[in-house]
Chains A and B, each alone.
Chain A
Amino acid sequence: MEFLNASVIPYFNYWIYVVLMMIGLHAMITKNNLIKKLIGMSIFQTAIILFYVSIGVKTGSTIPILEHHHDEGHAETAHAVAESGDHHAEETDHEKSDHGNNEHAIEADHGIDPDHFANPLPHVLMLTAIVVGVSTLGVALAISQSIYKDFGSLEENEILAKIKQGGPGVDV
């Protein structure tokens, strides 16, 4: 129980990501069907996305889009944003209130309190990772289609057996 409280509950997102990732990895290694391997690969990559996004979470923050008023000055914009953010933070997290006060110094400097917006960088990175994942998946599907065309099967052991035999359609 103590272990749960100390090491699992505060980090539950990370535990989930590890479990998901291992499900994916296990499928990639042990599954016989190529498409199942690819499903495993997708789960594997998605787990990484979950991990990255978890890094960027700040309790009580909102999406990293500033409110936008074309005609008003910079400081005002930021102020409006900060207010709404503050409001939000107090509602959801009590522990954060004193913390928020400390950060007012920064707010004064820049006009925007970073604590009120989720960390944008992991989102950007994961946008890239998603795109990469999709591309890889597409190429993988194309390759498996091509394998199916040559071997008439997507089961790894059957393909290997055919390669070993050097049967028709297999140029060894």
Chain B
Amino acid sequence: MKWFGLIATVFTGILLLSAVPDFAAFGDPDSPANGGLGDHPSVSQYYITDTYTDTKVPNIVTAVLADYRGYDTMFETVVIFAAGIAIFAILRSFSGPVAPSHPTAIDTSVEGDHQRIIIGTTCRVIIPVIQLFALYVVAHGHHSPGGGFQGGVILGASFILVALAKDLSAALGRFSEKRYLALGSVGILIYAGFGLLCVALERNFLDYEILHRIMPATDPIMARSHSMLGVEVGVAFTVTAIMFAIYANLSSKGRLEQGF
């Protein structure tokens, strides 16, 4: 196996490298991917030049993510959601000893009390800040790097921090299994719901333009911008929920009690 692995690896490597001299040079703005080919302008040029006209969103990445390739992103969210459900399906076990109802120290071998006080207090201070920042990242994705995934991960991390600092049941007390499973579904429901709304208004799926009819005080272009914010929120919901779900299941062997 060792030799086979080595040979396979070397062979693949040589194959991959054999094409490298044919590549456009690194950083070349005229490479086919960046600059297009002859009479085929590259789509990325279109994105850079026209995004603002189309959507009024200055962060091109966000616009491409949530609008031009919003269909991709919806399934990306589905992937995350599927992973959460998958981990639940694989690991979650309902049998086994019942979890102690009171939170216990995470680590009794070290001088527990002091640590708990220090960590607990620090966390109490920073967790709201983290969560606030997460919301900012979600909301400000139009203008700065950020968006639903990033914000969702940060928000999920804040709950994981609770679990780390205190213990899992404390975190579950704030964000119970029933809730995070529901929130995961709701997130995609929001995303797909925006798409379906467009279908209901007789446009193609995810064609946000038409939503200006039901959004107050918007024109078609701003409708795109606002809808993008909406779907980003949906993404953030799902990502938050699933990040925490993954942690909760992995850290407790699916029993959702005190960790290892």
Residue numbers of A with Cβ under 8 A of B are 6-7, 10-15, 18-19, 21-22, 25-26, 29-30, 54-59, 61, 63-68, 74, 77-78, 96, 99, 106, 109-112, 114-115, 117, 119-124, 127-128, 131-132, 134-136, 138-139, 141-143, 145-146, 149
Contacts and interface: CB of A to CB of B under 8 A. Distances in A.
Contacts of B31: 55
Interface of B: 1-2, 4-6, 8-10, 12-13, 16-17, 20-21, 23, 25-31, 33-35, 42-45, 47-53, 58-61, 64-65, 69, 72-73, 76, 79-80, 82-84, 86-87, 90-91, 143-145, 149, 246, 249-250, 253-254
B90 A142 contact: yes
27 contacts: A7-B20, A11-B20, A13-B26, A18-B17, A19-B13, A22-B12, A22-B13, A25-B8, A29-B1, A29-B5, A30-B1, A58-B28, A59-B27, A64-B60, A74-B52, A109-B49, A110-B50, A111-B49, A117-B48, A119-B33, A120-B48, A122-B33, A131-B79, A142-B86, A143-B90, A145-B253, A146-B91
A14 B26 contact: yes
A86 B6 CA distance: 47
Nearest to A58: B29
B70 to A, nearest CB: 10
B252 to A, nearest CB: 10
A24 to B, nearest CB: 9
User: For the complex, would chain B's binding face be called helix, strand, loop or mixed by DSSP majority?
Assistant: helix
Nearest to A100: B29
A66 B80 CA distance: 29
Most chain B beta-carbon neighbours within 10 Å: one of A13, A15, A131: A131
B216 to A, nearest CB: 19
A100 B91 CA distance: 56
Most chain A beta-carbon neighbours within 10 Å: one of B30, B45, B80: B45
Contact of A136 (B58, B83, B91): B83
B26 A56 contact: no
A56 B91 contact: no
Given A99-B29, A138-B83, A11 B64 contact: no
B76 A128 contact: yes
B44 A121 contact: yes
A65 B58 CA distance: 5
Most chain A beta-carbon neighbours within 10 Å: one of B13, B21, B44: B44
A149 B33 contact: no
Given A7-B21, A22-B12, A121-B43, 19 more contacts: A10-B25, A11-B21, A25-B9, A54-B26, A55-B31, A59-B27, A64-B59, A65-B60, A110-B49, A111-B49, A114-B44, A119-B33, A119-B44, A120-B64, A135-B83, A138-B84, A145-B253, A146-B90, A149-B253
